[in-house]
Structure 1
């Protein structure tokens, strides 16, 4: 349940919020549901926000970390020990770790084999020279797509996605702004 932050929610709405495309792809990849809190309704998230002062005062207070790895290792130790074993009134006096192991751990799905690759989205139109411009690079596309326009993902290792799975020519052999050959044009 995120806030209605702009990087996650493009248009807040109680029943049908418009989620940012990249954020929605990330959630879909990890089989997660994005259900943003209502805009300007701080009482919607008290259960999520309530533990933050405890984490701040118990874990962060007085500690200094020399690396991210050290911080992560100490965070795991603190979560399983200090925070996980404390008595919690909202859980009927049970410890968060025992409730997690008894109820939630069984419901978790395994992580995918490969990490999520973030796509950069771009709006492009296929010009009469059968190229689309994404960033500073021109991509050659099939001539039948001349005049078509759309918002397409550009992955780090691939060209822009096009209708029906067609992909643009690999731009790595050209300088930015340089066009590819005209071999995709129809004969004649």
Structure 2
């Protein structure tokens, strides 16, 4: 590190900040050196410290970590690989050592992770936001493997993050989360970039033509943003949000939670007290501070009321299938195609020819049956046989 080694303990200052959790990129920015120089300073500082300890016959480095090693191993086995997060957790338990010892202990225990370079696209304030979903498996209280989905939205300029866990990756839940995100940010970006999930995109030819789901187009028109989809098999163009999904996995997940509401309370605290106040590795600023310069469009006076609709054919047992559950309709509609409409209030309507022919409450879970009393009336004698024929 050239002359920096003789500038009044500059290396000691770098090492102390690094052990406190400051990243190499941030150290390079603060001290005006490139990252290779910072790494060289850290390595030489460690070598000198090891030599001093060896000459004094001290115990090997890492003794302060000894009582916490089992805990660190347990967290890593659960998928927590972020050293800064584990440092925060063990310091709450009384650990007084630095992060260097912790990182050296964790290094041989980490799985081999390969990463591809991602081309970055920087945006003007208020210009773009990016959304994505990530599947987060867990085991419930009965030991059954379940999956919950993290919806993440990032403002591309400030890197301000919104995250919400939803129980299903269907259109209704995605648009509910997107509406919540816009209300959280207090405004609307001009463009929202997404992947090609079937809840939003019908087809994408990769040449600029996207066939959008009508409900998503209507939602975008109401809020005044332009929907944009990344090219098929090129999700790296959405890198600003792909990295936060990984960040959520590393820095927040896994956690113990009672239900979806409890999980979202926890992630909201983490979002506000950790994710959006950290020094971002790319912008070198806190997202909450950079957010003040965003230029978002105003929200509509009233929120968009959501419903999800689709066509279904009535089966011979007077039922239609909707999201793995069955709902009954009157016998006279057997064989006909009907419109099923699910409202965010939890009400489900089945329509034919513009008329509501059955109403239900949306069933929780899967493979259940809901019966409308109107469907219990027996058809005229011989009707079912003739219908089946």
TM score, norm. by length of structure 2: 0.32
Aligned to 2:277: 85
Aligned to 2:288: 97
- The size of the alignment, in residue pairs, is 151
Aligned to 1:109: 299
> Residue 29 of structure 1 contacts residue 116 of structure 1 at CA under 8 Å; is this kept in 2?
no
Which segment is superposed worse, 12-21 or 63-72?
12-21
Per-residue CA deviations over 1:120-173 (Å, capped at 9, x if unaligned) read 2369xxxxxxxxxx955568xxxxxxxxxxx9954344735x6xxxx33x3248
Unaligned runs of 5+ residues in structure 2 are 1-192, 314-318, 321-328, 342-347, 359-372, 380-389
SS at match of 2:311: strand
CA distance in 1, matches of 2:229, 2:338: 25
Q: How far did 1:8 drift? A: 2.5
CA distance in 1, matches of 2:199, 2:290: 32
Aligned to 2:233: 40
Identify which of 203, 212, 225 aligns with 1:19: 212
Unaligned runs of 5+ residues in structure 1 are 124-133, 140-150, 179-188
CA distance in 2, matches of 1:7, 1:113: 20
Q: What are the residue-to-residue correspondences of 1:137-148 with 2, within 5 Å? A: none
Identify which of 166, 175, 180 aligns with 2:375: 175
Q: Residues 98, 76 of structure 1: CA spacing in aligned structure 2 closer, same or farther, 3 A cutoff? A: same
Which is greater in Rg? 2
The structure with the greater share of residues assigned to helix is 2
The structure with the greater share of residues assigned to strand is 2
Q: Residues 152, 107 of structure 1: CA spacing in aligned structure 2 closer, same or farther, 3 A cutoff? A: farther
Q: How far did 1:102 drift? A: 4.2
Which segment is superposed worse, 113-122 or 7-16?
113-122
> Residue 30 of structure 1 contacts residue 112 of structure 1 at CA under 8 Å; is this kept in 2?
no
Q: How far did 1:52 drift? A: 2.0
